[in-house]
Structure 1
Amino acid sequence: MTTTPLLFDIKNLSTEAESMKRLIELFSALGEKLVSHDVEKALKRTAGISYKEVALTFADSQTVTLLIKQTGDIFKVKINGKEAALRNQDAHKPEAVIQEIAQRIKSSRTAYQKALAAKTKADDVAQAAKSSGLKNTQKTRVSALQEQVNSLDALIAERQQYKAQLETELAA
């Protein structure tokens, strides 16, 4: 691996730039697979600093947004939409910055996946509530509830039969 600093040329920054390829190589070397990367075309300005955003999406759907200053340095990092303060934010040691980002991604992977699953489940529940909402007539709702009652009754009968079978095996 080369030891040249990872400085971005903000004027020529694109998804095909050498610095982007090097960034992808650094993450790959640390075991993080990038599935997509995008570079914002327009310059943005905040607190007197002009920057471009580089959005990275990893295989586990976590996202990292790098804000690159005009000098080519990483100005700010957002991991999964939240700003992250980095200890190793040094232009002369870009590998340390990338290593710290990769470490944070790895350490938050379980919590992120759990939150994503909970959000997906909540979205499914909300969608089900909407679909059974005002659009359906009362008769449709009653028939849907009756189907649920019938399926639960069938399940109860099946479980009672299984219980009786286990009791006869236990008695024997």
Structure 2
Amino acid sequence: MFAAVLALAAETPVEQLSVTEVARRADVHRSTFYEHASTPDGLLRAALLAELDGLRADLLHDPGRGTDAAVVETTRRVLEHVLRHLPVYRRGLADDAGAGGLHAMLGEHFLGSSRQLLEQGRLSLPTDVPGADPDVVADAALRLIALGTVGVIRSWIDLPDPDAAAFTAIYGRLVPDWWSQLDR
């Protein structure tokens, strides 16, 4: 079903897809569809997250890989993922798509990855803000990176021919100095 919804969403805005259409393309009954998702949009997000979660599992759980190397490699693979599904992300992250949907999904995924790095002690954040709870500052820092990364991806995919070098140039210039760096 994931392959079916990804293929259909590459051709048609997901909000225009019906459960029947996705089930037919996947060669399953509608009841099977509903065992996995309630809407085509929900199935699309699950399909994209399954790929992103696979990247995170492969790269961030390797204790032998340094944090910077994990961030760089994960970023490269996420960019490849976005490019594989470029029509889906262009529609799903468009300004008129609203703040939910793919924007929220990516933000939560990146936030989860950053939290895992922090929990593993592989990330240190600037939490020494006078008068502020360090946990609140750490959460704000992680959200800044996660949601800012989605914003950079959103702008990057508007390029006529987005590639990893263009993303790296933009992101490397904008990301705060305390964050793990891509080559600048």
Question: TM-score, normalization: structure 2?
Answer: 0.23
Structure number with greater CO (CA < 8 Å, separation at least 6) is: 2
Alignment TM-score, normalising by the size of structure 1: 0.25
* Greater strand proportion: 1
Larger Rg: 1
